[in-house]
Structure 1
Amino acid sequence: MSDQSSAEDLWRPEDAQARRDYWENVHDGKDVDGVSWWQSVPGLSLGLVDESGVDPSDPVIDVGAGWSTLADHLLERGYTDVTAIDLSRTALDTVRERVGDLGRHLTLDVADVLDLDTGRRYALWHDRAVYHFLTEQDERDDYRASLQRGLRPGGWFVVATFGPDGPTTCSGLPIVRYTHDELVAEFPGYTLHGTAGEDHLTPWGTNQQFTAVLLRAPDA
C-alpha cells in the first residue's frame, strides 16, 4: 500500500450515521460540477466494463455512485438491470431525474457499502473512488465482506482509487493511495484481468491520478 494520507489527523466519520450525514452534506446545495470527481463521460470505468464482456441483461451495481453518469451511459447502451447505491439521497435523486424514462431499468438505494446486503448477487460490481476512503483495516474488511455477499461466483469487479501520485485527501477526508499491484493485493483470491489509469481533470482544472483494475471473483 502506498503511503497513507499525510493528513491522518483530519476528522473522519466513525460510524454509519456520521458517514451518511457527511456525504449528504457534500452533495446538498451543490451543482454536480461542484465536486472534484465529476465526469460527464466516465471513460475509464466504461472501458473496464466493456473489457469484462458482461451481458447487458446481467445485473450490475455501482457502489458509492453519487452523481456519477455511469448508470446513464450503461442504460443508454441497453443495460436493463442497473443498481446504484450511495449514502446521499440528494445525489441519487439527481440521478433519477437525469435518467428520465430509462429509470425503469435502474434501482437507486441509499445504502452503506460497508454493510451492504441487497439480497442479490451481481455480475459486475463497480467502485470508482470509494475504496480509497477506507483508511482503517476493519473498514476494508467490511467492504470485502459486502463484496463477497454481493458478487456472483466468477463475477467481475472494477475498482478505482487515487494512484501513488494522486491527492492525499478528497472532500476533506484522508484517503489511501494505491499502485495497481497494491490494489490487486487488497483482494486475495481475485484474478487480475486488466489495468487502467487516468489523470482526471477536475472541474476547476487540477489533475487527480487514478489507478484502476478489473478483477474476477473465484468461481466458487
Structure 2
Amino acid sequence: MTTPNQHWNKIFSSKTDPDLGWYEGDASQTLKFLDLIPLGEAVTIFLPGAGTSVLVDELLARGHKLILNDISDEALNKLKSRIGMNDRIIWLHHDISKPLSDDLPQADIWIDRAVLHFLLEETAIQGYFANLHSAIHKGGYALLAEFSTSGAPKCAGLELHLYSVEEMAERMGVEFKLVTHENFTFINPFGDPRPYIYALFRKYDG
C-alpha cells in the first residue's frame, strides 16, 4: 500500500511545478486575505502544506518568519533548492494530522491552501484542527482555502472532503471568530475551474 509520503513524493519528483494541478503562479488571492491582518512584518507564519508554492517566496520577500511543513520531503527539497536555506525558516517534514512537537514556536498566522481537504478520516481531521489550535497564539489568525462543496470530488488522484464555510466555522470552534470569507474559482494550469472557499478566522485573545 502506498503511503501518503510516497504518493506525494512520486508526484513532486515526476512533475514540474506548472504541471501540478494546484499550481499558482500568482499568490495574490492568498495575499489579499493576508493584507487584511493588522500585523507587522516580522510575524511568524505556519504553512501546513508548503509544497513548492510561490507563496513562500512572497512571504519571505515581506520579511516574515516561516514554519514550512509538508508530508513530502521531495517537495521540501525542491523548495530548498529554489529559495535556499534561510535563518527565518523552520523546516518540518510531518503529517499535519499527527501531533506537532511542543518545541515549535507559536505562529501569528496559519495559511492552508488545499491541505485540509485531503484528510478524510475524522480522527485525522480532528488531529489537524488540534494542531491548528495549538500552533496559533491568542489574537492570531488562520486562513483556510479548500475545495468548496461545489468543487471537484478528487485531486491528485485522491478523494477529497469538500468544505462549506459553515463546516469550517464549526470545526474551528468557539475559540475562533470568522472574520471574512469568499468563494473563489481557481483556474488550474490545464484551464479547468476549481471552486474554492477561502475563510479567515481570528483566535480570541481574551
Q: What is the TM-score with the length of structure 1 in the denominator?
A: 0.86
Which digits, 9 at most, give the CA deviation of each residue in 1:153-202, with x for residues without a partner? 22100111101221001111111112222222221111011112321111
Structure 2 residue 95 is matched with structure 1 residue 109: no
Residue 7 of structure 1 corresponds to none
Q: Equivalents in 2 of 1:137, 1:42: separation in Å?
A: 30
1:82 Cα shift? Answer: 1.1
Q: Equivalents in 2 of 1:61, 1:218: separation in Å?
A: 18
Letter in 1 for 2:97: L
Q: Equivalents in 2 of 1:148, 1:182: separation in Å?
A: 16
Q: Which runs of 5+ in 1 are unaligned?
A: 1-10
1:135 Cα shift? Answer: 1.6
Which digits, 9 at most, give the CA deviation of each residue in 1:10-55, with x for residues without a partner? x9x7xxxx22222112211210112111001222211111112232
1:107 Cα shift? Answer: 2.5
Q: Equivalents in 2 of 1:212, 1:205: separation in Å?
A: 20
Whether the 8 Å CA contact 1:44–1:196 is kept in 2: the answer is no
Q: Equivalents in 2 of 1:207, 1:34: separation in Å?
A: 15
Report % sequence identity.
Answer: 25
2:67 aligned counterpart, secondary structure: strand
Q: Equivalents in 2 of 1:151, 1:36: separation in Å?
A: 29
Q: RCO (CA 8 Å, sep 6+): is it higher in 1 or 2?
A: 1
1:110 Cα shift? Answer: 1.1
Q: Equivalents in 2 of 1:120, 1:26: separation in Å?
A: 30
Structure 2 residue 126 is matched with structure 1 residue 130: no
| Residues 61-76 of structure 1 mapped to structure 2, 5 A cutoff | 61-76=46-61
Q: Equivalents in 2 of 1:182, 1:129: separation in Å?
A: 16
Residue 27 and residue 91 in structure 1: after superposition, are their counterparts in 2 closer, same or farther (change >3 A)? same
| Residues 16-165 of structure 1 mapped to structure 2, 5 A cutoff | 18-79=3-64, 81-100=65-84, 103-115=86-98, 116-117=100-101, 118-165=103-150
1:192 aligned counterpart, secondary structure: strand
Letter in 1 for 2:191: G
Deviating 4+ runs (over 4 angstroms): none
Alignment coverage as a number of residue pairs: 203
